[in-house]
A and B are shown apart, each in its own frame.
Chain A
């Protein structure tokens, strides 16, 4: 399904953050080696929601193209799996996390590029979350290297 409106994009971003936070929270309970890192991701996800929503509510204007700015942003392309086998190896969990983060980073980057015609705060906030996701990927890659 294509997202068209700013409201739909913000809702999707919230769902992405909540879904991935739930994944990290569940995994933190099962893999003590990554507990601290994953719980920090959970906290960061909450901050991301606040950041994006604050930007959206701060700049939304009836005069800008909020309903028509996100043409081509397809939710189906940003679907990610969070279901995993309870006995999965930590390396598999980390690979899954990396794939998920790739997907989420891509969503934020595209949403940021599409919203450039809106006021600056929103694309900036989306870009900032994309950058955070990129940093998170580095962390995950390091963890993966350490368990291989």
Chain B
């Protein structure tokens, strides 16, 4: 039986790639081939950029209210296709169906916020900056933007940028992850029906070569990226060299600080979601749980409760609605996580729950699966305490007080997300004030900013100036033009 080969979407048309090189897209739960994705050529990237460049003048001259109506239609189509979009995410990524539906909802929220562009894009003015002279600031689009997408949220992450980019009058090219590109294909099928003109949005499949060509292309004004820190640093440098704007949202090693006054029973679902949701494959996942204080009884209760809850997580095919954690996205990811587990044991951490001992729901193959793993006696200097694992592994640490916990957080190069679990407003306020990190949670496991707030990040977790989402995105995708006028 022949396998479907995905097409690129360029200038409003689905076109076969001229590439001879294809990658496999697999269902990680069942280890089955779903389709093949082309590694597109430079010429195809050029055609997409040219189409986007050609579409820009007419699109930027389309009134914002008309652009917003296109996005309203897109939103309606996304709602109509909600479950199918979600099922595709689970099929190609592996996450649970609840997680996929959550991803779809967050993607739609981005579109909803961007529909407010007639209000969001307004500039400001001041009469009489001097006698009979007025000054005003207008926000104008820049041209063609590109996006290099990660595999962990194949539907949502491009939507952190795309709706804001096109709402402000720019044109936009997405390069999805070659590991799970089908979600973007499903999304792009809806653009045509939404009445978005040819060339305004394009989809070009591929891997590093396509990304590099987008980064080097002189007609692209800015790039957005979500992925690892080493790649983010390269992208930031390349965009600097070619004069592009850039948002590079990168890696993380997120700390969750647990104070002994926490309502532990209420916190457990949040902690499980944080450490094991999306199988630990997200930049907002909890990585290190730091229990504060010298209360040994509380520490023991925390460890026992945490390990017991983690051990009961149902792992299997995400389409099974009883399943709470899906597989890792590839067998290679699983091997990499196992490597971290082995390193943790080697460096002296105490293995409290071994996720390598599989306990799976249904007769799924073991290829991509791990159960939750929990380590105790972890220090920030250990490899597992320091590096991003991107898998279902939780480390438990101790700090004598809040100051020491914050020092531990600051000793890590990342600054994506942290949380504190406590019933003390005073301690929580001190934590949010002192901690150097982009997204701070108070009794929140996944500190995911809503579409109308920027998705922050600091230190090695973010390279750029303005962030994605919210007002930051509007500013990122527009240039401030100043007009000073006097009439004689």
Contact = CB atoms under 8 A, between A and B. Distances in A.
A67 interface: yes
Interface string A46-90: 000000000001111111111111010000000000000000000
Contacts of A5: 96, 98, 321-324
A57 B102 contact: no
Interface residues of B, number: 32
Interface in B70-121: 82, 96-99, 101-103, 105-106
A4 B99 CA distance: 13
Interface in B255-288: 266, 268-270, 272-273, 277-278, 284
Given A7-B96, A63-B448, A71 B102 contact: no
A7 to B, nearest CB: 4
Contact of B106 (A6, A8, A58, A61): A61
Nearest to B104: A60
B143 interface: no
Taking residues whose C-beta sits less than 8 angstroms from the other chain, chain A's interface range is 20 to 34
Contacts of B105: 57-62
B325 interface: yes
A117 interface: yes
Contacts of B5: none
A5 to B, nearest CB: 5
A7 B323 CA distance: 10
Interface centre among B98, B103, B445 (most CB of A within 10 A): B98
Given A7-B97, A57-B82, A117-B269, A64 B102 contact: yes
A57 B103 CA distance: 11
Contacts of A67: 96, 98-99, 272-273, 277, 324-325
A3 interface: yes
Interface in B299-335: 314, 321-325
Residue from the set B322, B324, B445 with the largest chain A CB neighbour count within 10 Å:
B322
Contact of B99 (A8, A11, A62, A117): A62
Nearest to A116: B266
A68 B269 contact: yes
A4 B268 CA distance: 13
A63 B270 CA distance: 9
Interface string B197-225: 00000000000000000000000000000
A18 to B, nearest CB: 16
Nearest to B441: A63
A7 B448 contact: no
Given A62-B448, A64-B102, A66-B99, A117 B324 contact: no
Nearest to B103: A62
Given A5-B98, A67-B273, A62 B446 contact: yes
B326 to A, nearest CB: 10
A128 B102 CA distance: 23
Given A62-B277, A62-B278, A117-B269, A11 B103 contact: no
Contacts of A68: 268-270, 272-273, 324
A7 B273 contact: no
B322 A8 contact: yes
Nearest to A1: B322
Given A61-B106, A62-B106, A62-B446, A6 B82 contact: no
Nearest to A67: B324
A63 B419 CA distance: 13
A59 B105 CA distance: 8
Contact of A3 (B82, B96, B99, B322): B322
B277 A57 contact: no
Contacts of A1: 322
Nearest to A56: B101
Interface string A4-41: 11111001000000000000000000000000000000
Q: Which of A57, A59, A68 has the most CB of B within 10 A?
A: A68
A8 B445 CA distance: 22
Nearest to A59: B105
Given A7-B321, A57-B101, A60-B101, A65 B266 contact: no
B364 to A, nearest CB: 17
B270 A65 contact: yes
Nearest to B97: A7
A4 B322 contact: yes
A68 B96 CA distance: 12
Given A5-B96, A64-B273, A67-B277, 6 more contacts: A4-B322, A60-B105, A62-B153, A66-B98, A67-B273, A68-B272
For the complex of A and B, the 4 pairs showing the least CB-CB separation, nearest first, are A62-B102, A68-B269, A63-B448, A65-B269
6 contacts: A5-B323, A6-B98, A8-B321, A63-B447, A67-B273, A69-B269
Interface of A: 1, 3-8, 11, 57-69, 71, 117
